Amino acid sequence: MFVSGVLRSPAHRLLSGAVGLIRYTGRRSGRTITTPTQYARSGDGLLILVGRPEAKAWWRNFLSERDIDVLVQGEWLQMTARVVRGADEPDVVLPLLDEYLKRFPRARASLGNGTLDDMAKRAVILPCRLR
């Protein structure tokens, strides 16, 4: 709640260079869900690495392409997103993961040991693009 409050306030600059809010409609519940997440810019879009995806369920809302709103630097962006899992699409995940890790090298720790190819197989990334 604290992070969400800061991101929605004029003080958002404290966090909003790397942390934003995502807002989407739950595919089963139909409820509007808002949660903070770290993001990296990628051209006109954003990349969200799902840390410890086995312990989280929110990203499963994006197994097929869906609308998502992302609060970035005080502005809500209307976007679409579809999750990409390294286990299913390693060739797609690899360049996305490489780009994300250039921005957040410490995120490697959440992907376990091994080469970038090994990490890509375990990665779950949500690329978001403007609608």
Q: Which residue has better confidence, 13 or 26?
A: 26
- What CA–CA distance (Å, rounded) separates 66 from 7? 23
pLDDT in tens, 40-54: 999 999 999 998 899
Residue showing tokens 């934003």? 20
Instruction: Please give the domain boundaries of the chain with CATH numbers for all domains.
Output: 2-130 (2.30.110.10)
Q: What is the pLDDT of residue 12?
A: 45
Copy the structure tokens of residue 16.
């909003």
Copy the structure tokens of residue 58.
């929110």
Residue 33 has pLDDT above 50, yes or no: yes
Buried b (16+ CB within 10 A) or exposed e, 25-57: eeeeeeeeeeebbbbbebeebbbbbbeebeeee
What's the whole-model pTM score?
A: 0.86
Residue 15 has pLDDT above 50, yes or no: no
Three-class secondary structure of residue 52 per DSSP: coil
pLDDT in tens, 62-120: 999 999 999 998 899 999 999 999 999 999 999 999 999 999 999 998 898 899 999 99
